[in-house]
Structure 1
Amino acid sequence: MSKIDFHNLDGQILRTFLAILEESSVSRAAERLEVTQSAVSHTLSKLRLILGDPLFVRSGQGLTPTETALSLKGPVRQVLDSLKSLTEQRPFDPRSEDMRFVVAANDMQRDLLFPQLVRDALRDGVNLSLEFKPSGVPSVSLLRDARCDLLLTPIPPDAPDMIQFKLFSGEMMCFFDGSCTRPPTSVEDYLAARHVTVQFVLGGGSNDVLRAPDLPYIPKPTVTVSNFSGITPFVRGTSMLATELEFMHRTSLRNLDMAPLPFVTESLNVFMVWHERSTNDPAHRWLREAVTACSRALVF
């Protein structure tokens, strides 16, 4: 390999490299970076010339990284984090910033917090763009590899470089159609009922967060849906039950009746999680403060 002239590298080239590496596709990288495919291809050609390595080879429908590309992932991420830190002490005004964030959350956290956050941002003249992706049972790689900027989950990944903050706590409740059935009054009634539950495509669901010491077992669901908005159509007009967080009575389960469960459960905590590299970034701090403000409105 010829000697690398690092002066030919810049933040945009490195950012493009990471996008291609994480998306395994020039077209998806272009979509993520909001540039044309030709711009991404041109940058990749330039980087190949600088490094003297193909970096990616075609494989099936995507791109496979070479050993050189894989070895560069960590160092490139560190360089980009260092470049970002140079601007962390700059004057910051959310009304003059073009802020774009990717948030990993399921539809419960998304619908509880972010509609109000966006309304507040629009009212205050903040130029904010949000992209949501499913979290499932989240892994540290979601944040560590910068596939999202912020994570909301009741099951936070645990690692030294992950920072978590408890947003709110709530009780698990029974949701049902009061025109068709009454809520269960005993553990036996609850176990004998038919249930609708959520199981996310990426893993995790309602049964994973239910902590009930007095419940001998979790009943097998009659219907399993992939998001919370799918619960109501199946519960309405039937005697089936759903066991979900109380705050969902304000969003996707607002058209169902709600009652306490006939047994003791542990409160469900929902956390906001981010990577330590984002802690001092002023735009990221603004987002965290906005999410926290919306979460406080849930319980007051």
Structure 2
Amino acid sequence: MKKIDYLALDGRALELFLAVLEEGSVTAAATRLGLTQSAVSHGLNKLRRIAGDPLFAKSGRGIVATSHAQALAAKARALIDEMRSFSGAVSFEPAVAQLSLTVAANDLQRDLLLPRFFDRVAAQVKSLNLRVIPSQSPSPTMLRENRCDLMITPLPPSGADIVQKRLLRDHYVCYYDPRARTAPASRSAYLAARHITVVYTDNERLDFDRRLAANDFHRDIAISVPSFSGVPPFLRGSQMLASMPSLLASGVMRGFAHVRIPLASRTQTLAELPMFMVWHQRYQKDPAHRWIRSELETVAATTAGGAMDPAAKT
């Protein structure tokens, strides 16, 4: 019987294996890791010999993991965590760092924070590869399975192993086209108007919309789009209203007027919009991850004019 050289296993091979598993494609995994397809294929062949299993099988235009590969995934993540813990005491020097970072964020957080975050971090490190994936309905599984290094969301998932920190606090306002209509002057005028809102592709509604419905405020939703950037083309020149975060006024909602949502003062908390960064506890003391979180905090502070939440818990 041929002896399996299990000592040939290394962290890079495990990282490659998980990337292919999560992406369902050698091409996508190569792009994610900044490697060539041939390098990924070579690494997979090495891992197949060690595991004694084909690991993946063709399915249509893509590939699917074998049952053995699915069983190995949790072990691979655990081994990578142990390797990370083993090297946890190593210091982090940005100037020589080559970072590959995956951040889960929907379009609001992505467009508001990540372009300036990328510029700021890229200017300080040797190289940076940033991959942004949609968070949709935020799930702790995304962090537990290492699908992302960091999540930015107004609805942080919960879990004993999930850590969160508030980055900033925004609020929803009522946008309208001043060339086509005036601002709604009362609650009844606001509720009677036709509205445009965002419903993500997994059918997840905005937290603001859910809060209104839960408090028996009913609006006529004329149009639903899958992202905030889809609102302006429909709002322009129309009589409709759109309730969206105030920080978008200088971005995708530039050129539109906005006013405080005309609800009773006691219900204004319905319009609050906190934003959190969330990570798995495996990264809590990792020096590179701590530095990255600090950089994101700095970007968030300047985005909201320094409106960081001083009471935020680390």
- Alignment match, 2:147: 147
One-letter code of the match for 1:156? P
| Secondary structure class of the residue paired with 2:258 | strand
- Shift of the alpha carbon at 1:85? 2.2
The structural deviation recorded for 1:53 is: 1.6
Q: Is the 8 A contact 1:48 1:55 kept in 2?
A: yes
What do the CA deviations read for 1:168-201 (whole angstroms, capped 9, x no partner)?
1122110111122122222221121111111122
- Aligned to 2:178, the other structure's residue is in SS state coil
- Quote the Cα distance in structure 2 between the aligned partners of 1:49 and 1:261: 62
Shift of 1:242: 0.5
Going from structure 1 to structure 2, the CA distance change for 1:124 and 1:27 (only over 3 Å counts) comes to closer
1:102 to 2:94 alignment: no
2:36 is equivalent to residue 36 of structure 1 = yes
Question: Does the 8 A contact of 2:13 with 2:47 survive in 1?
Answer: yes
Over residues 13-51 of structure 1, what are the superposed CA-to-partner deviations in whole Å (9 max), with x where a residue is unaligned? 111111121122222222222222222222222222222
**Residues 191-250 of structure 1: per-residue CA shift (max 9 Å, x gap):** 211111111223423355553489533424212112111211211211111001121112
1:251 aligns with 2:251: yes
1:213–1:228 CA distance, 2 compared to 1 (3 A): closer
**Match of 1:274?**
279
Matches of residues 14-29 of structure 1 in structure 2 within 5 Å? Answer: 14-29=14-29
- Measure, in 2, the Cα distance between the counterparts of 1:272 and 1:44: 33
Rate the CA distance shift 1:213–1:186 in 2: closer, same or farther, 3 A: farther
Matches within 5 A, 1:100-249: 100-121=100-121, 124=124, 127-206=127-206, 211-212=211-212, 216-249=216-249
Q: Does the Cα contact within 8 Å between 1:187 and 1:215 map onto a contact in 2? A: no
The question of whether the paired residues in 2 share the 8 Å contact of 1:137 and 1:202 is answered with yes
Q: Does 1:84 align with 2:84?
A: yes
Question: Any gaps of 5 or more consecutive residues in structure 1?
Answer: none
- The residue type paired with residue 286 of structure 2 is D
SS in 2 for 1:90: coil
In structure 2, how many angstroms separate the alpha carbons of the residues matched to 1:165 and 1:107? 20
- Cα shift at 1:91: 2.4
Cα distance, 1:280 vs structure 2: 1.6
TM-score by length of 1: 0.91
Q: Which moved more, 1:241-250 or 1:24-33?
A: 24-33
Task: Mark the CA change 1:280 to 1:181 in structure 2 (over 3 Å): closer, same or farther.
Answer: same
1:163 and 1:74 mapped to 2: Cα distance? 21
Q: Is the 8 A contact 1:104 1:134 kept in 2?
A: yes
Separation (CA, whole Å) in 1 of partners of 2:43 and 2:145: 21
Describe the shift of the 1:215–1:261 C-alpha distance in structure 2 as closer, same or farther (beyond 3 A): farther
Looking at structure 1, the residues matched to 40 and 197 of structure 2 have their Cα atoms a distance apart, in angstroms, of 42
CA distance in 2, matches of 1:3, 1:77: 25
Work out the CA distance in 1 between the residues paired with 2:115 and 2:58: 41
Gaps of 5+ in 2: 307-314
- Please give the alpha-carbon distance, in whole angstroms, between the structure 1 residues aligned to 2:102 and 2:36: 20
TM-score by length of 2: 0.88
Number of the residue aligned with 2:268: 265
Q: CA deviation at 1:86?
A: 2.8
Separation (CA, whole Å) in 2 of partners of 1:128 and 1:39:
20
Contact 1:102/1:132, CA 8 A, preserved across alignment: yes
Q: Which secondary structure does the structure 2 equivalent of 1:195 belong to?
A: strand
Alignment partner of 1:171: what SS? Answer: strand
Query: In structure 2, what is the Cα distance between the partners aligned to 1:96 and 1:210?
Result: 46
2:301 maps to: 296
- 214 and 135 in structure 1: CA distance in 2 versus 1, 3 angstrom threshold: closer
Identical-pair percentage: 39
Write the distance in 1 (CA, Å) between the matches of 2:122 and 2:43.
35
Q: Which residue of 2 aligns with 1:49?
A: 49
Root-mean-square deviation (CA), in Å?
2.2
Of 118-127 and 191-200, the range deviating more from structure 2? 118-127
Aligned residues: 300
Supply the distance in 1 between the matched residues of 2:76 and 2:256 (Cα, whole angstroms): 50
Q: 1:284 aligns with which of 289, 293, 298?
A: 289
